[in-house]
Chains A and B, each alone.
Chain A
């Protein structure tokens, strides 16, 4: 009989191998999915995973899509390490995007770097404000931050919908639910001059990953948050403030999600619509988990998740499949990961029944 048996000590090897196993299982699951849908699995695999990055333009699109994921995931990871479950990054992204857009629309006539700088600040603050609500309610009333942050996603979506149908609507936009296009001074500069759309936000994302790494693994505050995540009572015993960690955790996630929102409106979109996010706030949760809450992992997991987005678009275009197929892949990936994580602390053993 095959059974699970606790390892004497957690396996470091498995904690890195487990994401690889999960990715492999996701790919296998994908092959079955394509086969089930009556498509050629090999062809499906090619369209989904190879074609999107078969040229330089594709790779640059990959970086573009990965940028908000990196930003949000590193912010979330800081909180997740302390078991602060901010799952409302999607809403924080939207509010960050709104705040940045407000700045952009306000300074429509002006030139100069101050517009962008103010937009960045506004984006971060917008996201932080939205995240401060669950933080305040959690520290003050012990309200569950999962549910509150999630409810605020729906509220943020309705908020942006109202704004682009009302106060922020482009007066010359034929009543389309979108703002006017931003001036050049409100657009993030591009990083490469080869026509790709990768912008300065990618540099921010790399910076955020580095800063996140230092915070998590070198700073005492990061250590405190990890202690709280592993053993709440030990953190209390040591005298680490739980309130402070809740605030840090949520505000870090909020600021990064807000920045990602700013980067979307000021980057590829160039305006605000009611489709500010393509589900980046939720996808980043998966990125953070697959990456083991580690910034190095987040870099790679973001690329993978971005590939799933691009693959979904390709599958829609060339295989006539709904683009929501990428959500299916995302969900599978996380579920497989959580399942295969069991082997970090357990191993499989063949155990004979007791002889009668």
Chain B
């Protein structure tokens, strides 16, 4: 009995952490190239509505995920044009992207507000899924959960084992040096930014197609911002992104279990719902206290515009 509660807490935690992982890892890549895109909330919203609408219209989950990815990528492309080609302020442009994405998704999503998608079956891995306690959480998940783990592995390999990853880190540290030894800084930053947008789109689509699965205005509920905070918290290291995402996942599902536990705890639901946001602040405080760690790990050129003189 206790085992099954533990198992379902773990299960729900992993599910809740998954969109954060996908979005935060995408942003990590963009930030490693030196681009700070605060528009994750908007890109996720667009990914969520695009994913939902396309899944709903076509009946295909995968077309939905692809659509969400495309929507996120398109939004980030818009961002990239403004900050990389037109050298707009990255902070302000990211805000604009958030506002635009949240607004546009609400606008597009109006007709879909009362619709619902069929629940997607989990993929059970034979035998492993039957292991007590950890079997269900780890080996009987939906496909995008497995995708988030594959993404983690791929990104670790890319950043620390591959040459393009080395180039990406170099561009983020010193775009002028990278330019002077001949790397196309702007093109690399475009690619990293669009990758970040694509991942944010998938993260949004996960929410609307797999997690809920329905569309409500404002359903992203700050997850895009939390993902950005997560990258800072992780001091730009993929493994710590994973840890952080599951921590947040745990905080997010905690309220459901407290409410569903039948315990005689009389806490207003609003207080429990505010926990992820308060946790974000606490986590930021903890990591920011140690400025040296942040400075040693942050991409040096993060947020600064760069334009090679032709």
Q: Do chains A and B touch in the complex (CB under 8 A)?
A: yes
Sample of 26 A–B contacts (CB below 8 Å): A141-B288, A142-B289, A144-B288, A151-B222, A151-B281, A154-B221, A154-B222, A154-B277, A155-B274, A158-B270, A165-B270, A166-B268, A286-B96, A286-B99, A324-B106, A324-B217, A326-B103, A327-B103, A328-B107, A330-B100, A331-B99, A331-B100, A338-B82, A338-B92, A338-B96, A346-B87
Contact indicator A330/B289 (Cβ below 8 Å): no
Among B103, B228, B278, B284, the one with the most A-chain Cβ atoms within 10 Å of its Cβ is B103
B38 to chain A: which residues have CB within 8 Å?
146
A330 to B107, CA, bound (A): 13
B273 to chain A: which residues have CB within 8 Å?
158
With contact pairs A151-B278, A161-B270, A339-B82 given, residues A330 and B99 touching in the complex (Cβ less than 8 Å) = yes
Contact indicator B103/A335 (Cβ below 8 Å): no
Contact indicator B274/A154 (Cβ below 8 Å): yes
Interface flag for A322 (CB, 8 Å): yes
Contact indicator B88/A338 (Cβ below 8 Å): yes
A9 to B45, CA, bound (A): 40
Contact indicator A335/B100 (Cβ below 8 Å): yes
Apart from A148-B284, A161-B270, A342-B88, 18 more pairs, CB < 8 Å: A87-B95, A144-B229, A146-B38, A146-B91, A147-B232, A148-B281, A151-B229, A158-B271, A162-B271, A282-B99, A331-B96, A331-B97, A334-B100, A335-B93, A335-B100, A338-B86, A339-B86, A341-B89
Restricting to B9-48, which residues have a CB under 8 Å from any CB of A? 38, 42
Q: How large is the interface on B (under 10, 10 to 19, 20 to 34, 35 or more residues)?
A: 35 or more
- Show the binding face of B for A, using Cβ within 8 Å: 38, 42, 78, 81-82, 86-89, 91-93, 95-97, 99-104, 106-107, 110, 217, 221-222, 225, 228-229, 232, 268, 270-271, 273-274, 277-278, 280-281, 284-285, 288-289, 291, 309-310
Contact indicator B103/A143 (Cβ below 8 Å): no
Measured CB to CB, the nearest residue on chain B to A320 is B110
B284 to chain A: which residues have CB within 8 Å?
137, 143-144, 147-148
Contact indicator A151/B280 (Cβ below 8 Å): yes
Interface flag for A12 (CB, 8 Å): no
Proximity bits, A278-296, B CB within 8 Å = 1, else 0: 0000100110010000000
A6 to chain B: which residues have CB within 8 Å?
309
* Shortest Cβ gap from A181 to chain B (Å): 23
Measured CB to CB, the nearest residue on chain B to A137 is B285
With contact pairs A85-B91, A146-B91 given, residues A324 and B107 touching in the complex (Cβ less than 8 Å) = yes
Contact indicator A147/B280 (Cβ below 8 Å): yes
* Shortest Cβ gap from A3 to chain B (Å): 7
A133 to B228, CA, bound (A): 20
A150 to B102, CA, bound (A): 15
A162 to B284, CA, bound (A): 26
